[in-house]
């Protein structure tokens, strides 16, 4: 990955796109601040992200899309309206999400819809009494067609607000519109894969496996490209699906610390019941996840912008353009030792959208028979239980699970503009070693998910466009819950090392605007924490409240190279009596990102 990064960097430097050598652009906290242990108030709890533009100045116009305080909002939605800006020329739209909170609360999931289509899924940081805030920017240009018409805006952020949970979330989203010198060819239609409930003032998210995510649409007969985008996140028993065990082992320790359906998940996109493509989900860790002590003031990768995945369904257009309805379904499956695939626990929240581009000519699109490879993945399972199941605290359970999948669909698609060989292919690999010790109360989880995908370029381009990704993660947690919570606090001891490495050209942004170089990203987070809470007072009381005596330290390396150029950041935070940034450096060049160490098992995985 690093080699590829350097290669692309080298090409960009040679083509004069970016400056070299590495330059330190800012260091926002000096030595003296660190030594005096300054706690900013309110505390900025941030997700490291590369700037989306060289400067956010120079917007043609801007407007507030949503401004709402979510207090006792459990089951109550924000409903508002969006109108496109008047007398404003724009090609590019960026949303700036800004949130403030003070008090005590858990992390909460927020879903933002334009009508029936989910456009952003986020989670919140956990507040402190002295207040927190964060801002996050997201490029919304792929939704251009929605942004140019009136929309009902629906946001859910289920929050408890009472004498114990005193943190409300004040959310503002501002749209910034820019008129950039570039051609934008947004999708003509965006069709929601959702419950389509906005007319009833309800959220359109689908909960799996309790419900089903099957919708039917008739595509325009002259469609020339179609891409499905899917958002899927695990909650409840599925929040940490990657530390679950195959279902036959959930009773190993005769307690409830293990959840089932295996640590493997696949999110599938099916057309008329046939598998079109898959996503092997990135493990987003919310701010209460693994240990809340890890996420102050640096939150996890993708915490404020849960990632979607894309499947190019253009090879299916010969079938989809016949003027008849076709079904589009999203499923979430886990490994099942008996049937390869099976159901999962409760619950996954999913929604998706089909982005459709029409050919200028009105003729019906036709296609040759789709050439497909989509056999089920191969799985290897190796469980090992040691000790008896109900006696000694040394009893442990180690399980290795790995999987590989190859999938591709190819067809010659003909429109009024000509014929093109359109292909979508994916190669994915997964490998995990999970070790449950101390009757399952100690867990050491290691997993590597990586893969490549390929889609066909637009007519004027040559070779297929390839993206790669890799997300190794390893963490250890030990939880101690006392028998009498009035005399002893609960404890979580945690350590984590995880990365996200990718070199990608997202299909939707490629088809919407012409930038054709991959965005290369490498980021790694490491951390450790000891975290206490009083179970009888209220769980996670003062989760990140200095008075609790929690300890945490998190370090992050971030290096990216893309449309805007190069960006590097290296930050290190200590969340103890007073949260401080002990290191905070930004660079206008890529930086070295050391590899995640998969806890001494790399030789088994690789």
Ligand X SMILES: *[C@@H]1O[C@H](CO)[C@@H](O)[C@H](O)[C@H]1NC(C)=O
Contacting residues toward ligand X, per CB under 6 A: 56, 69, 79, 96, 98, 135, 137, 170, 172, 200-201, 212, 214, 254, 272-273, 327, 329, 361, 363, 390, 393, 396, 398, 410, 416, 421, 423, 427-429, 433, 435, 437-438, 442, 450-452, 464, 478, 486-489, 493, 532, 534, 536-537, 548-549, 601, 606
Report the Cα–Cα distance between both ends of the chain, in Å, rounded: 14
5 DSSP assignment? H
| Least separation in angstroms between CB 27 and ligand X | 20
Helix ranges (DSSP H) in 314-412: 317-320
CB closer to ligand X out of 145 and 179: 179
| Least separation in angstroms between CB 349 and ligand X | 17
| Least separation in angstroms between CB 347 and ligand X | 16
CB closer to ligand X out of 149 and 254: 254
Which pair of tokens denotes residue 55? 């400067």
| Least separation in angstroms between CB 450 and ligand X | 4
CB closer to ligand X out of 42 and 307: 42
| Least separation in angstroms between CB 498 and ligand X | 16
Tally the C-alpha atoms within 13 A of residue 213's C-alpha that lie toward its C-beta.
Answer: 28
CB closer to ligand X out of 130 and 452: 452
CB closer to ligand X out of 350 and 601: 601
Which pair of tokens denotes residue 4? 């590829």
- 3-state DSSP helix/strand/coil % of the chain, to nearest 5: 10, 45, 45
Candidates 455, 453, 457; CA nearest to 469 is 453
CB closer to ligand X out of 20 and 83: 83
CB closer to ligand X out of 99 and 571: 99
CB closer to ligand X out of 92 and 437: 437
CB closer to ligand X out of 410 and 584: 410
Nearest residue to ligand X, by Cβ distance, number only? 478
Which pair of tokens denotes residue 482? 């006392």
Candidates 533, 537, 550, 242; CA nearest to 403 is 242
| Least separation in angstroms between CB 14 and ligand X | 27
Contact 297, 45 (CB under 8 A): yes
| Least separation in angstroms between CB 570 and ligand X | 22
Tally the C-alpha atoms within 13 A of residue 602's C-alpha that lie toward its C-beta.
Answer: 8
| Least separation in angstroms between CB 599 and ligand X | 7
Round to whole Å and give the CA distance between 186 and 225: 11
Round to whole Å and give the CA distance between 518 and 522: 13
| Least separation in angstroms between CB 104 and ligand X | 12
Round to whole Å and give the CA distance between 181 and 179: 7
- Alpha carbon separation from 215 to 151, 218, 224, 351, 600 (Å, rounded): 21, 10, 21, 11, 45
Give the Cβ contact number of residue 495 at 10 Å: 19
Give the Cβ contact number of residue 456 at 10 Å: 22
201 backbone dihedrals φ, ψ, rounded to 5°: 60, 40
CB closer to ligand X out of 185 and 363: 363
| Least separation in angstroms between CB 176 and ligand X | 6
CB closer to ligand X out of 291 and 429: 429
| Least separation in angstroms between CB 31 and ligand X | 26
Torsional sign, CA 240, 242, 248, 254: negative
Candidates 240, 232, 244, 237; CA nearest to 268 is 232
Round to whole Å and give the CA distance between 393 and 385: 13
CB closer to ligand X out of 539 and 582: 539
CB closer to ligand X out of 133 and 355: 133
Candidates 539, 467, 552, 515; CA nearest to 182 is 515
| Least separation in angstroms between CB 35 and ligand X | 26
Q: Return the SS3 of 186.
A: coil
| Least separation in angstroms between CB 162 and ligand X | 16
Q: Return the SS3 of 199.
A: helix
Contact 82, 114 (CB under 8 A): yes
Contact 235, 347 (CB under 8 A): yes
């Amino acid at each position: 990955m690093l080699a590829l990064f350097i290669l692309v960097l080298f090409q960009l430097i040679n083509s004069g796109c970016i400056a070299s050598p590495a330059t330190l652009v800012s260091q926002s906290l000096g030595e003296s601040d660190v030594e005096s242990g300054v706690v900013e108030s309110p505390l900025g709890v941030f997700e490291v992200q590369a700037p989306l533009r060289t400067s956010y100045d120079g917007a043609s116009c801007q407007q507030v899309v949503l401004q709402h305080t979510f207090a006792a909002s459990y089951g109550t939605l924000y409903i508002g309206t969006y109108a496109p800006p008047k007398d404003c020329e724009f090609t590019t739209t960026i949303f700036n999400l800004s949130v403030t909170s003070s008090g005590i609360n858990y992390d909460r999931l927020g879903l933002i819809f334009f009508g029936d289509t989910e456009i952003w899924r986020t989670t919140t940081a956990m507040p402190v009494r002295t207040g927190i805030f964060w801002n996050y920017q997201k490029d919304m240009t792929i939704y251009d067609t929605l942004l140019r018409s009136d929309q009902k805006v629906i946001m859910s952020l289920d929050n408890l607000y009472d004498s114990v949970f005193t943190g409300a979330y004040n959310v503002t989203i501002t749209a910034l519109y820019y008129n950039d010198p570039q051609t934008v060819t947004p999708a003509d239609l965006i069709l929601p894969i959702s419950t389509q409930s906005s007319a009833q003032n309800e959220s359109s998210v689908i909960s799996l496996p309790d419900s089903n995510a099957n919708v039917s649409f008739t595509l325009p007969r002259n469609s020339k490209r179609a891409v499905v985008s899917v958002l899927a996140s695990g909650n409840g028993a599925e929040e940490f699906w990657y530390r679950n065990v195959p279902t036959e082992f959930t009773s190993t320790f005769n307690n409830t610390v293990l959840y089932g359906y295996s640590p493997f998940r696949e999110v599938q996109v099916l057309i008329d019941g046939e598998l079109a493509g898959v996503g092997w989900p990135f493990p987003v860790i919310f701010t209460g996840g693994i240990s809340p002590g890890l996420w102050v003031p640096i939150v996890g990768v993708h915490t404020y912008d849960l990632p979607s995945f894309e499947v190019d369904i253009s090879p299916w257009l010969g079938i989809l353009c016949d003027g008849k309805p076709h079904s589009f379904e999203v499923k979430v499956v886990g490994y099942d030792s008996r049937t390869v695939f099976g159901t999962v626990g409760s619950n996954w929240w999913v929604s998706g959208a089909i982005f459709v581009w029409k050919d200028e000519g009105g003729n019906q699109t036709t296609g040759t028979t789709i050439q497909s490879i989509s056999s089920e993945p191969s799985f290897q399972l190796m469980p090992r239980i040691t000790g008896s199941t109900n006696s000694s605290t040394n009893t442990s359970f180690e399980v290795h699970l790995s999987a590989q999948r190859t999938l591709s669909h190819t067809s010659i698609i003909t429109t009024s503009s000509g014929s093109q060989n359109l292909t979508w292919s994916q190669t994915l690999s997964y490998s995990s070693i999970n070790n449950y010790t101390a009757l399952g109360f100690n867990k050491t989880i290691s997993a590597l998910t990586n893969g490549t995908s390929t889609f066909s370029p637009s007519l004027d381009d040559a070779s297929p466009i390839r993206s790669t990704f890799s997300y190794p993660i390893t963490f250890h947690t030990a939880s101690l819950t006392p028998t009498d919570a009035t005399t002893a606090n609960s404890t979580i001891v945690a350590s984590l090392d995880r990365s996200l490495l990718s070199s990608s050209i997202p299909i939707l942004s490629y088809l919407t605007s012409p930038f054709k170089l991959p965005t290369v990203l490498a980021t790694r987070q490491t951390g450790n924490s000891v975290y206490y809470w009083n179970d009888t007072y209220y769980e996670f009381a003062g989760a990140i409240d200095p008075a609790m005596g929690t300890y945490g330290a998190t370090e992050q390396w971030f290096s990216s190279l893309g449309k805007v150029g190069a960006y590097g950041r290296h930050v290190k935070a200590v969340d103890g009596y007073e949260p401080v940034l002990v290191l905070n450096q930004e660079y206008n060049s890529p930086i070295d990102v050391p590899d995640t160490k998969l806890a001494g098992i790399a030789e088994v995985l690789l």
